[in-house]
Structure 1
Amino acid sequence: MTFSCTAETWREINSQPDIWDAWVPELAQARTDIGLWIKDKGIREVWFLGAGTSAFIGDTLAAVAHPTLTLRSIATTDVVGAAMDLPKMRDDLLVIQFGRSGNSSETIGAMHMLDGLAPQVHQLHITCNKDSALATRVAPGPGERRVMILPEATHDRGFAMTSSFTTMLLSALSVLDLEVDLQSQIGTLATSARRLIAQLSSTVMDRPERAIFLGSGALKGIARESSLKVLELTAGQTMTQWDSTLGFRHGPKAAVVDGTLIAVMIHPDPRAGRYDIDVAREIEAQYPNAKVVTIGQEACTVSFVGTKDARWDGVLYVLAAQIWAVMWSQALSLPVDNPFEGHGTLSRVVSGVTLYPFDMDAAE
């Protein structure tokens, strides 16, 4: 039975391949301009900032070494909450901040902090909202601020970030990986995504009480995002966990009980993938009443043809959690586009944080 749903979130998930394809021409020009700007400014280090799902984009990007740049992922929740712990911000630093709405409390707080304490730092804002603070705020200088505004279709109407996450990830990768043929790379991903969405939608996956997502290297960030998608869209009624594949064996495996779903993302590099496969087999043998699903290329339970680069292929791996989360949300009779409707403990745009001025030299 093919799954169907009338929610905006479901439409947004299904629209991702078309969004990526249509974005390529404009993205190609933006990547050229930004690439030249980064070179001209002598950038040597890049920090990725974001909160929640937007932070996991940075986790995915920073997991793989860059040939000329030092990459670091720092959540804006840490930037705002503990600015005293930040590394030194030098003149050759570029801060790339992600935001779907571009208006969350921590987004604003991070800009306050950078403008006040490190105005020399260059910044690139990648956002889905052309009217947001992230898109419109002017830098005080001398550091320059550039903005990449994604297609309006990525400004998800649903509670959960889906097309916004994948398109921001691909956009940042295009800037960092200038050697890649963008049209071919994104074309491959879009074609595979269409097939994968059809494959995943063709069978309704029963909702587990617990779901665990595992991934190595760049896929650890994707595992974290996958875990959050399920937790959010089921309003916490499916408890989730994430970890690196090998790290899961060092204690966190205690979370597995009968009926748990464990989704193991098999890394496209066979040197890493062999460990993922071994752990998946180990869990199957040790927990026969749990359900182990492998996601990746060739012989996996959920399979696709990717680029063999885990960072780029992350947009394919995450589709399983996006689709299952909608299935399980609907099975729970929740409003998929706002699972917390009626008990507003969570909202689409995180706000309400009191932002305090911060003096890096002061301590009490």
Structure 2
Amino acid sequence: MQQYLNYSKEWLERHGAIHTAKEICQQPQIWRDLLQLLSQRQPQIETFLTPLLADPNLVIILTGAGSSAFGGVALAPWLREQTKRNVYAYGTTEIVADPLQYLSTHKKTLIVSFARSGNSPESVATVKLADQIVSDCYHLFLTCNPNCALTDYAHQKNNAQRILQLVLPEGTHDLGFAMTSSISSMILATLLLLGGIDTHQAYDAVMKIATICEHQLLNWQTITKQLAQKNHERVIYVGSSCFTGIAQEAALKILELTAGKIATRFDSILGLRHGPKFMINGKSLVVCFFSNDAYIHQYDIDLFNELEHDNIATDVLALSGQQSTHKQILSVDCHLSDCWLIFPYLVFAQMLAFEKSLSFGLTPDNPCPTGEVNRVVKGVTIYPFHQI
């Protein structure tokens, strides 16, 4: 009998959860497929990216809306440190509202658009605004849907020197409400394309992470189900470096899949004490994403110990790439750079959000059947921008 997250396919279909469960579980194989896709497209990718990345003054903007924006937030600091390039993460929702605050007219710019559907009004508007405002502008479209507005835009421009579109492997265009396969695959694609990682090293790392996540998809089922049955009214995710953006994404997953029944918050490890700690009460779950970096890890441990000593939250939990005997620290046994820990941490957050959704009797594939919140955003009016 076919199962996902220890539920039968038939049970998941009856409970409106089949797409989300399948899309969480398929990610390790999708990442392997992505490696193959990038290998096949390597000549085009190198022709487009090599001359751009050779320019030390190039500005790279990672952009998207919702989860797609948070993927950029997770990657930008790491890419900036590792590649010494000018990498920034701005939401399309920010750029569209006030483009001149985010787009520089006379700076050579590569816009990397994360887009699951490729049809969000802000995604298309950001691309058009960038071409309107930036005199030397290039686009990398990372899309999961081959038939979308961004594809139409690329075909309309028909300029391979200015636009490269990569449609990610089949299956990344999530049918469930929440972004799962799509966001992890877009993050991975960006890491492989812009991270300056040796091809052999990248292959080994992806294969290792895929195997680790397949194991954790089985290993974490018990704890995520147990946590889902607890009466948490608030869930707070915290992390530093790459993991502030992942904490933001994890908080969104809970909020989305429980249709707002659980209040969520994210912050950095050091930022939590500066007021947001008031969010923690006797019905809270706090999840810390630990760094593998020895310097950062000192701050992770300090906060974790403090939260345990406070004894306010119902549960305080940590995910770590390092082995630990502490029963509240879940080890994923990964000693790679933090950028690779992103993927098991995402999987855990997705699994927990899925179980929390079911615990409320909701349908994870569509937690808002009345339509106030939609899988692809509706109701946005895009106004013409007149540059002064």
Class of the TM-score when normalised by the shorter of the 2 chains = over 0.9
Partner of 1:117: 133
Partner of 1:76: 92
Partner of 1:261: 285
Q: Write out per-residue CA displacement over residues 115-138 of structure 1, whole angstroms, 9 at most, x where no aligned residue.
A: 322363011000100001122313
Separation of aligned partners in 2, 1:70 and 1:346: 35
Read off the aligned partner of 2:286 and give its amino acid letter: I
User: 1:21 pairs with 14, 19, 32, which one?
Assistant: 32
CA apart distance, 1:142: 10
In the alignment, structure 1 residue 49 sits paired with structure 2 residue 63: yes
Moved over 6 A (4+): 140-143
In the alignment, structure 1 residue 178 sits paired with structure 2 residue 206: no
In the alignment, structure 1 residue 11 sits paired with structure 2 residue 22: yes
Read off the aligned partner of 1:96 and give its amino acid letter: V
Q: Are the equivalent residues in 2 in contact too, given 1:47–1:73 (CA < 8 A)?
A: yes
CA apart distance, 1:95: 0.8
Separation of aligned partners in 2, 1:236 and 1:230: 8
> 58-67 or 84-93, which moves further after superposition?
84-93
Q: Write out per-residue CA displacement over residues 136-178 of structure 1, whole angstroms, 9 at most, x where no aligned residue.
A: 3133869611001101201000000001010110001001123
Separation of aligned partners in 2, 1:148 and 1:117: 24
> 140-149 or 250-259, which moves further after superposition?
140-149
CA apart distance, 1:312: 2.3
Q: Are the equivalent residues in 1 in contact too, given 2:291–2:338 (CA < 8 A)?
A: yes
User: 2:50 pairs with 9, 17, 39, which one?
Assistant: 39
Separation of aligned partners in 1, 2:65 and 2:186: 13
Cα 1:56–1:112 change in 2 (3 A) is same
CA apart distance, 1:28: 2.8
Separation of aligned partners in 1, 2:85 and 2:211: 31
In the alignment, structure 1 residue 191 sits paired with structure 2 residue 215: no
Cα 1:217–1:31 change in 2 (3 A) is farther
> 114-123 or 51-60, which moves further after superposition?
114-123
Q: Are the equivalent residues in 2 in contact too, given 1:159–1:338 (CA < 8 A)?
A: yes
Read off the aligned partner of 2:22 and give its amino acid letter: R
Cα 1:67–1:109 change in 2 (3 A) is same
Q: Are the equivalent residues in 2 in contact too, given 1:269–1:308 (CA < 8 A)?
A: no
Q: Provide the identity percentage.
A: 32
Separation of aligned partners in 1, 2:209 and 2:85: 25
Partner of 1:221: 245
Cα 1:45–1:66 change in 2 (3 A) is farther
Separation of aligned partners in 2, 1:351 and 1:63: 31
Separation of aligned partners in 2, 1:91 and 1:292: 45
The unaligned stretches of length 5 or more in structure 2 are none
Separation of aligned partners in 2, 1:90 and 1:48: 18
Cα 1:286–1:109 change in 2 (3 A) is same
Partner of 2:165: 147
CA apart distance, 1:27: 1.7
Partner of 1:356: 383
Q: Write out per-residue CA displacement over residues 320-354 of structure 1, whole angstroms, 9 at most, x where no aligned residue.
A: 21001111111111111000012x11100012211
User: 2:73 pairs with 42, 48, 59, which one?
Assistant: 59
Cα 1:285–1:102 change in 2 (3 A) is same
Separation of aligned partners in 2, 1:13 and 1:142: 34
Partner of 1:231: 255
Partner of 2:181: 163
TM-score (norm 1): 0.93
User: RMSD across aligned C-alpha pairs, in angstroms?
Assistant: 1.9
TM-score (norm 2): 0.88
In the alignment, structure 1 residue 202 sits paired with structure 2 residue 222: yes
Aligned positions, number: 359
Q: Are the equivalent residues in 2 in contact too, given 1:284–1:290 (CA < 8 A)?
A: no
CA apart distance, 1:88: 1.3
